[in-house]
Structure 1
Amino acid sequence: MKHCYHLTIAIILLGVDVHHASAELRLAGIFSDHMVLQREQPIHIWGWADADEKVTVSFADQTETAIAGKNGAWSVSLKPLKAASVGRSLQVETGDQRIVTQNVLVGEVWHASGQSNMAMTIGAMAKQLDSVAMDIAAADLPQLRFCRINEPESPEPLDDLRKQSTWTVCSPKTVSRFSGAAFYFARRIHAELNIPIGVIDSSHGGTPIEPFIPRAAFNSHPTLKKELELGDREDLEGIWKLPGGVRARSTTWLPGRLFNSRLAPISRFGIHGAIWYQGESNSGVQEDPRDYQYKMRALINGWRQEFGNAKLPAYYVQLPGSGAGEGWPYLREQQRLATDLPHTGMVVTVDLDGAGVHPPNKIDVGERLARWALAKHYGRSIPFSGPMFERQEIHGDKIILHFSHAETGLMVADKVGLAEPRETPEAELLYFEVTDASGKWHPAKAEIEGKKVVVTSEEVTSPIAVRYAYAVNPENCNLYNHDGLPASPFCSRPELLIYDPKLPPSSQSGR
């Protein structure tokens, strides 16, 4: 009797009609109550049933049928739908079984991934920022839905999630468990569009970029090819010793392992775009940040291939100024160099207050991510990027720097906490350095002239390059545009930057 009771409860939780329980009909694990489906795209619904079984799928006045294959797999595609904030039921039936998924919305769906700074929750933020408590109290936002994918790694791509997903409706009681960066991103998008927003969070603390890159994308660069070869042999030490490799501490860190378990099973689930916050575990102690730009391109291009959208928007966060590893300045530059991919954008955070690996201000992070999406893909006329180095001109002992996203002009400003940056025209620009053919970097004076910055140094008469904010902890970086967005750290000639984790910091250029 006790066994039957537990079976009935399990069937009810799965949404299967109790009177027809055989557990043969199954929806893919990403489909569950309270989910958000992507608007204005074909909606793919898939799962498993008995071989040759006819499956009928109904949602929003559409009905489609499919015949399960020899392995039991079936799939249907529903026609694109407009956003809908009223919950509806998705029904899947065979001759004697039925699954009903309740309270399904249609809106915008985004992937959020990376490592611990993406995983950092609203609750963790609230322990350090008093104002977050007010955001928690005001988080009665039922059109925001979050799905946390927390699968362990897999050496092969999985057909389905090992565990049924859970979509959680945003409320003051649930929001503390959500990713802070993803929540503030989603909240801003929802406020602007007034439609449902779904976030699928697949982040994993303490991991490098490699496990999130799909296998096929490792063919894009020699370092990646070698990492995949060593990863297939589970040679963690070999990957660690590889120039441009990574200190793989377990098999979870190996190429493709988290994509295989967390993203491959849901690659057919429609999304609008992706946000990414990672890099710490490719540039910490005894970790080698070289070639990260190629890894970043492989990640984005690989996801686009796997998700079937060559123009998938992808916005990522540059490492903050509260550096925790010697390789952080070099990795920030590698992240900047990856911005040449179309339909991408990089959020600069080097100006935000905070200490250590996990600075608590994910409010500005999420808002700045949302600016990119709103401006580039939702048609909003808002500023979305701070100054980005474009080119240099050398005139004797001066280097003149030109920037994109400087149309409103440049300014020296100070940002304190969560407040908007305040212009401080009397202050000097910080963290500018120049070098000559000797390769040694010297502190420099930098002055704004409209949309340009002129850089000189008393110690360098024949400069060849400039760099900005190239330091582990560059506090109070103060170059902004008049839109109040910070300039990215940069080197005008990146090939001059030297990084080798085998050398002591004092022997490396500018360390």
Structure 2
Amino acid sequence: MINLKIILTLVAIAISTQISKADINVADIFSDNMVLQRNLAVKVWGSADPGEKVLLSFKGQKLKTKTDNKGRWSVLLKPMQAGGPYEMTISGKNEVVLKNILIGDVWICSGQSNMQWPVSKSNNAEQEIKEANYPNIRLFEVPRSVSNVPVDNIPFAKWKECSPETVKNFSAVGYYFGRDLQKEIDVPIGLIHTSWGGTCVETWTSKVSITKLPKYEDFGARIDNYDVLTMAQKFEDDLKEALGGFPEKEVGMKEKWMLPNTDRSDWLSMTLPTLWENAGYKRLNGRVWFSYDINLSAEQLDTTAQLHLGKIHDSDISWVNGQRVGGLNWANEVERVYPVPAQLLKVGKNNISVRVEDKYYKGGFASKADKLFLQLGEKKLPLSGEWQFKVDTVIPDFKPFPNDVPSLLYNAMIHPLIPYGIKGVIWYQGESNTPRSKEYELTFPNMINNWREDWQQGDFPFLFVQLANYQQPVKKPKDDAWAELRESQAKTLHLDNTGMAVAIDIGEANDIHPKNKQEVGNRLMLSALKVAYGKDIVHSGPIYKSMQIDENKVIISFDHIGSGLIVKNKHGYINEFEIAGDDKLFHWAKAKLDGDKIIVWSDQVEKPIAVRFGWSINPAEFNLYNQEGLPASPFRTDDWESMTDGLSFDN
């Protein structure tokens, strides 16, 4: 009897398996409420038993096909005009009916956290959500996941009508773009949101594409060998081995590790400056204390002293001889410069202690060695070298991270969408690539070409946001990685059918996620009207065109001046210009409007050869626009060595 029950159970399983296998399935991107791309031969695909006949009926079209030996099928719908709603029926041994389908324009919305940022956290969120009743806008959210191989499935995702219930956690930039665009062109809009905060462009690029680039030729094996299922445990085990175990609880502040007489005999050593991931402590998130002793002579002491620590990821508290001298929270782009009271320093041994906290990705000291020093009057005493350190807290978060190796998000969050018919892409990303901004000039266009080649829908419009202003304004002109990233973004406009929404005037000094996503979406929409729809409009602010030197002045010309240049200053002064001579030292410059050109000069530079504009992480006094109200894009006229030259994925 027991054997009979087992046999019957096995037969039932076999029958159910056969029934399951016989079911016709359509790819996950197809569901009720979807938008199909108008005026395009649209591919619909799915799976069934090998050799099964499939019939697809939609809007008068009846298409027949048969699955291949792997059970895959696809059909190609003839181009259709905008409209709906319609139903689609897919028949074989079973029948699938998809309802409430619209035909219109489909846009991919991708990037990192500023694209991921939801409507519920944008400006005027409560009112925006309340008014978000747009049944002709449809939303599709790709779940965040990683894979080292291309996948076809998008689990637990369905198209939804845009409503107050469905829009609140959807991409704010994507929604405001789609809403404004739908009002302009009056056709249904489909928005596919696929983004992940903190991610770099390399992870959004396929293995085939990224390994064609210099310095990435050998990454193929690293991608292939990245085991998503076991990597988390490996990260945890490796970190435990490197540290000799994890601390059970935080005690550093309670035990006052900042005091000079702290027993540090069991502390480890690390050569600073460096990010601790680069020192062998991968996946270390938490709180780490650093200590350094410096001997001072009576001759070195001065009435003015400053502690320079460079950039720290992400938060710090810093002490000199046990007394706090400074600290910043979540300010990884700010160079730490803390005044040190003269009475704190003494002849002989002086202790510097820094408590660094990092909760996400890489932590530690991010600047070069020349940024780490103690300044006493005019003297700079280097602090780079061996520091002692001790881990006080480990945040046990060892999940695979999209930036571990390239292609992880392309495989899991882009590949399953291909070749769904689309109109174009909007993209907001770049912050995570600022450590290698110069290389972005290569990696970003490469990703765009990668997507276009794989989609096989021509050079579809690709519209992107130039990074917004962020952090505290600088007091003196200097090189800046964010400025270099914006330059690399602007250079990407050499690709056909691209557009750039400049956001240099709508950022927030204290938040990398500015809340005014409405203006970002609207500026992307203007680019779409021009690039994707051929409207005769001014879609861009002024972009640098050329320069002419006239004795001690430089005359700057622009493209995209629209109805003319304007200065948002009642006195007519143009801010954020810098000028340099052949010594390559930049000085703040004066600038004035002369018709459609700008004249730039400085009393400190007799023979100028280079001009920079908005060349900092936060050109906070920005005030140059065209009369259509669109801001000028930051630029430089020189091609001198960048601070991120030569840096790539492993740096």
Q: Does 1:373 align with 2:528?
A: yes
Q: Which amino acid aligns with 1:111?
A: I
Of 191, 208, 213 in structure 2, the residue corresponding to residue 199 of structure 1 is: 191
Q: Secondary structure at the match of 2:69?
A: coil
Counterpart CA distance in 1 for 2:612 and 2:34 is 46
Residues 211 and 218 in structure 2, CA contact (< 8 A), matched pair in contact too: no
**Equivalent residue, structure 2, for 1:293:** 441
Q: Which amino acid aligns with 1:319?
A: L
Aligned-pair CA distance for 1:427: 4.1
Residues 333 and 489 in structure 1, CA contact (< 8 A), matched pair in contact too: yes
Aligned-pair CA distance for 1:228: 5.2
Q: Secondary structure at the match of 1:408?
A: coil
Q: Does 1:181 align with 2:173?
A: yes
Q: Does 1:221 align with 2:213?
A: yes
Counterpart CA distance in 2 for 1:103 and 1:311 is 30
Aligned-pair CA distance for 1:240: 6.8
Residues 223 and 291 in structure 1, CA contact (< 8 A), matched pair in contact too: no
Counterpart CA distance in 2 for 1:301 and 1:43 is 21
TM-score, normalised to structure 1's length? Answer: 0.84
Residues 548 and 556 in structure 2, CA contact (< 8 A), matched pair in contact too: yes
Q: CA distance change for structure 1 residues 240 and 366 in 2, over 3 Å: closer, same or farther?
A: farther
- Runs of 4 or more above 3 Å deviation: 20-23, 223-237, 247-251, 323-326, 494-502
Q: Which amino acid aligns with 1:273?
A: G
Q: Which amino acid aligns with 2:547?
A: Q
Q: Does 1:359 align with 2:514?
A: yes
Residues 466 and 492 in structure 1, CA contact (< 8 A), matched pair in contact too: yes
Counterpart CA distance in 1 for 2:74 and 2:81 is 21
TM-score, normalised to structure 2's length? Answer: 0.67
Counterpart CA distance in 2 for 1:443 and 1:408 is 28
**Equivalent residue, structure 2, for 1:421:** none
Q: Which amino acid aligns with 1:121?
A: P
Aligned residues: 458
Aligned-pair CA distance for 1:211: 0.8
Pairwise mapping of residues 36-435 of structure 1 onto structure 2 (< 5 A)? 36-84=35-83, 86-94=84-92, 96-125=93-122, 129=123, 131-158=124-151, 160-219=152-211, 221-225=213-217, 231=223, 250-253=400-403, 254-283=405-434, 287-323=435-471, 327-354=481-508, 355-413=510-568, 424-435=569-580
Q: CA distance change for structure 1 residues 30 and 387 in 2, over 3 Å: closer, same or farther?
A: same
1:395-425 C-alpha deviation (Å, 9 max, x unpaired) = 2211111100014221112xxxxxxxxxx34
**Equivalent residue, structure 2, for 1:9:** none
**Larger of the two Rg values belongs to structure:** 2
Counterpart CA distance in 1 for 2:523 and 2:278 is 34
Residues 579 and 608 in structure 2, CA contact (< 8 A), matched pair in contact too: yes
Q: CA distance change for structure 1 residues 324 and 268 in 2, over 3 Å: closer, same or farther?
A: farther
Counterpart CA distance in 2 for 1:372 and 1:139 is 23
- Structure 1 stretches lacking a partner, 5+ long: 1-19, 242-246, 414-423, 503-511
Q: Secondary structure at the match of 2:640?
A: helix
Residues 217 and 299 in structure 1, CA contact (< 8 A), matched pair in contact too: yes
Q: Which moved more, 1:59-68 or 1:211-220?
A: 211-220
Of 454, 478, 483 in structure 1, the residue corresponding to residue 628 of structure 2 is: 483
Q: Secondary structure at the match of 1:394?
A: strand
Residues 33 and 99 in structure 2, CA contact (< 8 A), matched pair in contact too: yes
Q: Which amino acid aligns with 2:463?
A: Y
Q: Which amino acid aligns with 1:340?
A: H
Residues 111 and 202 in structure 1, CA contact (< 8 A), matched pair in contact too: yes
Residues 21 and 49 in structure 2, CA contact (< 8 A), matched pair in contact too: no
Q: Secondary structure at the match of 1:291?
A: helix
**Equivalent residue, structure 1, for 2:23:** 24
Alpha-carbon RMSD across the aligned residues, in angstroms, is 2.5
Residues 324 and 356 in structure 1, CA contact (< 8 A), matched pair in contact too: no
Aligned-pair CA distance for 1:282: 1.2
Counterpart CA distance in 1 for 2:582 and 2:609 is 7
Counterpart CA distance in 2 for 1:357 and 1:501 is 26
1:265-324 C-alpha deviation (Å, 9 max, x unpaired) = 2211000100000011112xxx33231111110111111101113321000001101249
Aligned-pair CA distance for 1:169: 0.7
Counterpart CA distance in 2 for 1:185 and 1:145 is 13
Residues 324 and 357 in structure 1, CA contact (< 8 A), matched pair in contact too: no
Q: Which amino acid aligns with 2:524?
A: L
Counterpart CA distance in 1 for 2:518 and 2:579 is 34
Q: Secondary structure at the match of 1:37?
A: strand
Aligned-pair CA distance for 1:450: 1.1
1:178-218 C-alpha deviation (Å, 9 max, x unpaired) = 11101111011100111100011111111111111122322
Residues 447 and 455 in structure 1, CA contact (< 8 A), matched pair in contact too: yes
Q: Secondary structure at the match of 2:191?
A: strand
1:76-102 C-alpha deviation (Å, 9 max, x unpaired) = 111111001x321111110x3011111
If each structure's strand is expressed as a fraction of its own residues, which one has the higher value?
2
Aligned-pair CA distance for 1:165: 2.4
Residues 538 and 562 in structure 2, CA contact (< 8 A), matched pair in contact too: no
Aligned-pair CA distance for 1:151: 4.0
Residues 34 and 102 in structure 2, CA contact (< 8 A), matched pair in contact too: yes
Counterpart CA distance in 2 for 1:311 and 1:240 is 38
1:365-395 C-alpha deviation (Å, 9 max, x unpaired) = 0000000111222233321000000111112
Q: Which amino acid aligns with 2:551?
A: G
Q: Which amino acid aligns with 1:103?
A: N
Residues 562 and 628 in structure 2, CA contact (< 8 A), matched pair in contact too: no
Aligned-pair CA distance for 1:231: 4.7
Pairwise mapping of residues 458-477 of structure 1 onto structure 2 (< 5 A)? 458-477=603-622
Residues 43 and 77 in structure 1, CA contact (< 8 A), matched pair in contact too: yes
Aligned-pair CA distance for 1:362: 0.5
